[in-house]
Structure formats: structure tokens, C-alpha cells
Amino acid sequence: MSEELVEQEIAREQEFVDRVHRQLADAGKAAQQLAREGHDRGRLGHEGGLVERDAMVFQAAKRMAQLDAAHEGLVFGRLDQRPELDPEPRYVGRIGLRDANRDSLLIDWRAPAAAVFYQATAATPQDVVRRRVLRSQGPTVVSVEDELLDAEANTNDLPIMGEGALMAQLSRARDRTMHSIVATIQAEQDQAIRAPGKGVVTISGGPGVGKTVVALHRAAYLLYNDRRRYESGGVLVVGPSGVFMRYIERVLPSLGETAVALRSLGEVVDGVRATRHDEPAVADVKGSARMAELMRRTARQQAPGSPREFSIFWYDARLTLDRGLLGKLRRQLMSQGRRNRQLPRVTPTLLDALWRQVRSERGRDRGREYFNDDLLSTDEFLDFVIGWWPPLSAPDVLGWLRDPELLARVGDGIVSAEEQRLLLKSWGDGSRLSIQDVPLLDELRYALGDVPVRTDDERDDPIAAIEGGVDMQELMTASDREYAPSGRAWAPPTHSIEDDGYAHVLIDEAQDLTPMQWRMVGRRGRGASWTIVGDPAQSSWPVPAESAEARAEALSGKALHEFHLSTNYRNSAEIYAFAAAYAERVGLEADLPTAVRSTGVEPQVIGPVSDLEAATRAAVAEAADQVGGTVGVVVPVARRSEVNAWLASWPERADDAAGARAAIDSSVAPSGEDRVVVLNGLDTKGLEFDAIVVVRPQEIEDESQTGRATLYVVLTRATQLLTTVS
């Protein structure tokens, strides 16, 4: 193929791309004009004008965001069909655009008309003669890659350029973020993307088959196909770690979709962010389904330090609430629903119990209304009410379990003495919440319930406190200082369990979810459709049957659509053969996809070495010199701080690993910005690097019950170079 012909073809495509960009600019101006008209409607001075303003400005802003996101790689595909069917080429892009005459100029990749771009093959061309992929830098076309799908129908002698878009894409250097594959989606991937919107879609397959990126494109497809439903209800994307979420965070915006919540497992609960993992033995306990019962029992315990009896002298009589009576009242309230939801009933219940003890004629003559008013104006009584039945938050209740006696009481028959010791060590060392603690917090949130909020009408009602709508802050008196942090009045959480639901839930690395994490995520998707991505052979949870039961409960009653991806696009054939051989050697029942490319570079095995730092330094230097993209240094959990300290001290890596020094603290999450980064095995889930250096692989294998599966995952993260240092 002559360079002149290549330049001619690029120039032809550039003419069309220029035309599309001019139309995009016009569309942007139209959206801005719509926004201005919306603001003008708001100046009409009546409610209808304000509503129109908000609607118009919202739609304009949404359209402008879509247009802004679409500039990079706006036009990426061209279809040349049989001339007798359509003599004009069809162009496929990130968004749909019409020209000034309202004729289709660019087809949105998610539209039914674009499906053939992905589904046509040489075996089943579907009337497509040539498929072309355009690669651009900004608005400039820099190359084209062609596939001839129907040679017999190529009556126009369409030129065929390049080596194919897929191989060109696979050969590029990786950077710090995942990119859209919108131009190179393969037929089996497209089927999963365009699967029905209702029910549960599972996407399975071995390492490197594109499960994650396919699932993200599916989220974009759903938003396009039923925007009203998914934008109003929300789409939740759950991933294994913060570094993984940073890795994928640009994929959906690059497709023009921003109405998506990206949450790591440590961030699923609103207002909570956990970044550190517990050690494997502790994580196994906290993740078990048994912990649900432990949290339920804990939520029903009397608050530590709360009063156990109450007595007051009122008009010739001593009124007493002793332990026995208070226990009976507690059981009565607990039987009526979640603990915090009973707060409006507490005061009337206690007042009823005290009024029944009034026997004196003077007291009875005063009447019940006077009795209520008198006690509700008494600090002694109000302090008792809030102390005996305080509003509770999940973090406060989880903190109760730092008490060995309380843990032993609620944990009887649920967790062994050794497991209690592990839990106490985890909660008692003053560390921040772990990722494994977040589902426990969520369990407590649902066990406790939200604190009822008084309506405006109830706030104006002087007796509402004893008839159902109680404002706890109005009941706070001297107890504020005793029971509230830093002497401040208690304030209810800003996030309600009523707001947790989504229209669609997407879970990546689902095989790693513990039973408690399935319970947590399941609450967000009770009325939702689901996309679930996973590979059982990569699971880090040691009791698959328990996790499967929790998953089945979360998805109960939903139709299932299964898709399996079989081609490894990430690893070279040499790297994946090495990983597959390890999986077979240690007895993993691994799904072994077929790698599509070969580099001729075999994985390097170094060791045993006497100077681990020197050997690691040399391996990292060699990898960084040979690849143009990212390098991952994967270490046992116990060595992450140590190896980060090494990396921070190597002057030749100062530019490549600027965040290493901060990560010497093991509680700091790995940077998603550095070219060279130190991670443990769990941190690598869902990620890929041009080169991987594995330090002490045997220690990774030995550090948990699922260490073999974790090491298998690690060995499949590299696209070009793999080195192990023992």
C-alpha cells in the first residue's frame, strides 16, 4: 500500500470529520440558545415560567455535556455496504448528529442501525463489504484501519488499509486510565452490551476478555435505550477498590454519560469512605453471613451507660420505672419495628407507665394533660428519656463491640472465642474503618432504621412530641453533654435508607464479594436491573457456597441472561500461557481464554535472591525501560509499606512514582496517577499494566486461604512483560 494512497484515504475521511465537527459546533450553539431562552422564561415572574426555565436549562446543560464529551474520537467508524442496498457510507460515532436538513449525519454507536458495525464478521458479513475504523487526535484523523468482510461484493474495489483496528488497539501502551473500546467492540462483546434491560445480565470469562469495559459500555447503552428510567433512578457501578474506580472513571464520561455513581466497596454506603483491607483472617470473619445476626443482636442491646431505672416524686406519690418494668417496655417497643423508628413512641410509652402509678387524689385531679406537660418540662425526666432510648447511628453502635463483654454476649453461638479476639484486635487498635467494616455499618443502619423527622405541622404542635412526631434535638437538655460527641446536640444522619435504591446496579469482580457485601449491594438493587461481572477462578472469598447463597438472595425473582467471553485481548500469548500453567499446576478450575496476540517475549523468573531490594530495583528498571506505559509492582500485603519505601528512595524513579512516599503508610490507597505503583494482590483486581513485577510470589500465595487465586490474578495483569522475583 503506497503512502500516497494512505494519505488520500485519510484526507477523504478528514473532509467528513470536519463536516461533523462543524455540525457539532452548530449543535452546541443551539443548546446554548436553549439555555438562554430558559433563563428568559424565568424572568416572566410566575411559577409556570420558573418551571419552564428549570426544564429548558436542565435539558440544555445535559446536551452541552454530551456534546463536550464527544469531541475526542467523535467519528470512529465507517460502514460500506453492498452498493445496491446503500451506495453511501454510514458513519458511526460517540453520539448521534443530524445535519441542517435533519438527515442522519452520524449514527450513535448504541443505536440499532449501528449494531451491524460490531456484529458483522467475514463469516456473516450482513451486507457489509468493508468496515473502517478511524483513529483521531482531537479533530484530526491520523490513521484508518480496514477489514474486508465480503470480498465478492467489493465491486467498487474499496482499498483496504492497515492491519486491523483491534490489533492496533491492543498494541498501544497502557496509561493510568481505562479507555473506551467503542471503536473495536467485538461481536461476542456486543451481544452482552445490547442484552435486555430487565433482569440480571452476567458477563463471565477468564482474565483479559474485556468483561469490565463491556459492562461499562452496557451501562452507556442502557442509558441511551431507556434514559428516563435510568437517569431518574440512577445507575450504581461498584468496583473492588478506589484505585480501580479511578482507573475506570473516564470511560462513561468519554461516551457522553455522567448520570452514574461510581463506588468502590468501601464507598457504597453514602457518607462513608474506607480504603484499607483487614488482614485475611479478620476479613473472613467480617465477611461471613453470620455477622448479619451479630449486627441484629447488637442493634437491640441497651445503649452502654444508659440509665437502668427512673424515679420521681409527683404529688404525694413516688413514681418508679424499675429494671423489670423498663425491660418489659423495651421489648414492647422493639416488637413494633426498627429501634430508631420507635423514638416517637418512647415518650408516650414512658408517660403511660408513670401515669398508671398515680394513685393520689391530688394527682388524679390534676389530670393527664397536666401530668404530661409537667413531666415534659422537667429536665430530670427528659434526661432519662434521651439516655434510656437515645437516637443511634450505625458507627456508634459498631463502636459498642469494642467492649469484650458485650461482644461475648451478642456473639455467643455466632463467633468463636478466637474470632472474637480477631474482631477486638481489629476494632480496638484505633484504625479507621476497613472496607470489610462498611457492610457491617450498612447492616446496622437497616437494623436501627432512620430517625423519624417531624413535619412542619408537627413542629408547630405543642403536644406533637407525645403523639407521634418527636424532634430529638428539642428533647436534648443536660444529656447533650453526656451523650453527644464534643458536647454538641445529636444530629440525624444526612443519608436515609429510603434513598439507597437504584434503577440499575453494575458489579465488577463479583466473585470477590463476601456474603455481607452481597447483602449491602443487594439493598441498592431490590427494584433494579443488574449487570454482574466475574470469574469464579479469580475469587478471593474462601467459602463460595455461602457467597452464592447471599447472591441468590440479592437477585431473587429476577430473570437471568448469561454471556461468556472467550478471547483474551490483554495478555500476550506467552504471558497467559505462564499464568494458565500456574493455574493448572495448583489445581484452580480456571476459565482459560485464547490469547489473540504473541510478542515473542517470555516471562522472566528471577530468584531465589539474597538482596530482595536490589533485585526488585533492577527488575523495575528493566521493565520501565522496555515498556512505554505503566508498571505495577505487586507485593504481599505485609510488604507494601516496605517496598513503597524502597521505591520512594530510588532517585531514578522520582518522576515515575511521585506518590510512593505517601503510600509508605499502609492505610493509604495506591496512587492512580503514578506510572510505577506498588500494589498488593487484591489491589490489582480489574487493572492492567504494560509490565508487572511480582515480588515474593510464594508469600502472596501463602498469605490467605485464596492466595493461589490471588496470585493467578496477579500473573494475568501484564500486557507485555511479566517478571517474578523470589
CA distance 276 to 283: 11
Q: At what angle do helices 515-524 and 280-287 cross, to 10 degrees?
A: 50
Q: What is the pLDDT of residue 474?
A: 46
Position of cell 434491560?
A: 197
Q: What is the pLDDT of residue 668?
A: 77
Q: And the C-alpha cell for 492? A: 440525624
The predicted structure's pLDDT at residue 50: 46
d(CA 102, CA 115): 22
Q: For 297-391, where are the E strands, in sequence order?
A: 310-314, 317-321
The residue type of 662 is A
Rounded to 5°, angle at Cα 675 from 260 and 171? 80
462 CB-near residues (< 8 Å, 6+ apart): none
Unique residue bearing C-alpha cell 455467643:
412
Angle at 49 between CA 43 and CA 50, to 5 degrees: 85
Tally helices (H) and strands (E) across the chain.
30, 21
pLDDT score for 412: 96
Give mean pLDDT in consecutive 10-residue pieces for the chain, a chain of 726 residues.
84 93 80 62 51 48 52 83 88 88 90 92 88 89 89 78 62 69 87 94 93 94 92 92 86 82 94 89 96 97 93 92 95 93 94 94 91 94 94 94 96 96 88 92 96 60 43 44 38 74 95 96 95 90 92 95 93 94 92 88 96 97 94 94 95 92 80 88 90 97 91 94 97
CA atoms of 274 and 463, how far apart (whole Å): 43
Q: How far apart are CA 349 and CA 551, in angstroms?
A: 40
Q: Tell me how far apart the alpha carbons of residues 284 and 297 are, in angstroms, rounded to a whole number.
A: 20
Can you give the pLDDT at residue 59? 52
Query: Cα–Cα–Cα angle for 146, 569, 562, nearest 5°?
Result: 105
The model's pTM is: 0.82
CB 157 within 8 A of CB 146: no
Which are the contacts of 559, defined by CB distance < 8 A and separation ≥ 6?
196, 198, 199, 200
Look at residue 690 in the predicted model and tell me its pLDDT. Answer: 94
CA distance 437 to 130: 54
CB neighbours of residue 50 within 10 Å: 14
- What DSSP string describes 569-604? -SS-HHHHHHHHHHHHHTT-----PEE----S---E
What do you get for the CA distance between the two ends of the chain, in Å? 48
**503 phi/psi in degrees, rounded to 5:** -80, -30
Instruction: Note the pLDDT of residue 258.
Output: 79
Cβ atoms < 10 Å from Cβ of 45: 7
- Alpha carbon distances (Å) from 196 to 329, 486, 607: 51, 52, 51
Q: How far apart are CA 616 and CA 622, in angstroms?
A: 10
* Distance (Å, whole) CA 342 – CA 446: 14
The partner residues of 555 in beta bridges, in order of sequence, read: none
Instruction: Say what the pLDDT of residue 461 is.
Output: 45
Nearest in space to 508 (alpha carbons), one of 222, 237, 163, 174: 237
Beta-carbon contacts of residue 276 (< 8 Å; ≥ 6 apart): 431, 432, 434, 435, 666, 667, 669
127-145 exposure pattern, b = at least 16 Cβ within 10 A, e = fewer: bbbbbbbbbbeeeebebbb
- Between CA 252 and CA 178 the distance in angstroms is 10
Alpha-carbon distance values, 25 to 39, 97, 105, 253, 503 (Å): 21, 11, 14, 19, 33
The SS3 of residue 566 is: coil
For residue 477, the model assigns a pLDDT of 41
Positive or negative, the CA dihedral 609, 613, 618, 623 is: positive
Q: What is the C-alpha to C-alpha distance for residues 472 and 451, in angstroms, rounded to an integer? A: 9
- Beta-bridge partners for 163: none
Q: Which three cell numbers stand for residue 52?
A: 419552564
Q: Give residue 314's pLDDT.
A: 92
Q: Determine the residue type at 114.
A: A
